[in-house]
Amino acid sequence: MAVHYDELWKNIIEKLFPHFLAYFMPALYADADLARGYEFLDKELQKIKLKGKRGKKLTDKLVKVHLKDGTEEWLLIHVEIQGSHEDDFDRRMFRYFYRLYDKYDVPITALAVLTYKTDRQYDFNYEVYGSKVTYSYNTACIAKYPEKELQHSENPFALICLAVQYDNLYRDDEEQKFNLKRQMIRMLRERSYTKEEIIEILEFIDDALYITDTMKNQLFDEEATGILEEEKMAYVSGFRQRAINQGRQEGLLEGLMEGKMEGLVEGEIRGEIRGLMEGIQGMLEIKFGDVPVEVKDKMQEISDLAKLELLKNGIKRATNYEQVRQLL
């Protein structure tokens, strides 16, 4: 399974943004008045967003941050997930800047988080017969962060960067990735993170260092559950996908028992829906406590897999059951 880093990064940036800002943009973090809140400007970004090359994953976030002096600063975040540098990268960063500046006329700074190793200078230079433009922006190259520094930092994004480093180094070595995932669970035990932070970090680690071995996944789930039970929590990130897979297998078996090809197809769909439904209910219980009866009843009425996927993604961003009810 390919690691969907674009979705992983979008989710972790939204859920742990203050930590992201402190880790990658400490000067802006020091000047920011986060007590006044911050706002993700998805609609504004969509209006100027550039199309990526076919098959290329782009992770872009635009955030409005209030400063202590009463002004506002817009932060354009771009996580470069590709395996190596592309020649038009600097030009694309510049185009994002001038489109935002031209349309909204606000102070804008930009950060590119690079998931691959590089030593090149990142800026955009344009010159024609004496007319020239130079655009420089902030960069953070994850591969350059020392492993020991990441292992001892208290910021959650140090562990996020560590997971990315380990995936780059040991992508095809499931045994090593399994051992490193267990090691990172031990690191989590040593830190004073909140319930929500631990769950988000575990989800990123579990997906970034993806392994296919069922027994290893079960052992990881047990250890992840162990650390959360110490705080009276529960871990379902890995369980969610594995429940879906189990449901799919049970559905296939039902189809075989029916002895019909259409039974196979219908059984697989039923199993996938059942597994996804169980995973969603687990997510709700962790985030908001016991699932209200009317919410369960509404969910049971959904028989379309695509609608359940949309519901799952919406729940990730919801902050209470009232918002969940609106999704239903």
Q: Is 40 exposed, middle or buried (0-12, 13-18, 19+ CB in 10 A)?
A: middle
**pLDDT by residue (tens digit) across 148-185?**
999 999 999 999 999 999 999 998 999 999 999 999 99
**pLDDT by residue (tens digit) across 74-90?**
998 888 765 555 678 88
* Element holding 46 (H helix, E strand): helix 42-48
Instruction: Tell me how far apart the alpha carbons of residues 328 and 230 are, in angstroms, rounded to a whole number.
Output: 33
Contacts of 35 (CB under 8 A, 6+ apart): none
Q: Can you read off the two tokens belonging to residue 101?
A: 């500046």
**pLDDT by residue (tens digit) across 257-288?**
555 444 444 555 666 777 778 778 877 877 77
C-alpha distance across the termini of the chain, in Å:
30
Domain ranges of the chain: 1-144, 237-318
pLDDT at 33: 94
Contact assessment for residue 94 and residue 124, using Cβ atoms and an 8 Å cutoff? yes
SS3 state at 228:
helix
Instruction: Tell me how far apart the alpha carbons of residues 179 and 213 are, in angstroms, rounded to a whole number.
Output: 13
SS3 state at 68:
coil
Q: Read off the pLDDT of each residue in 52-76 and give the average, rounded to a whole number.
A: 80
Contacts of 91 (CB under 8 A, 6+ apart): 124
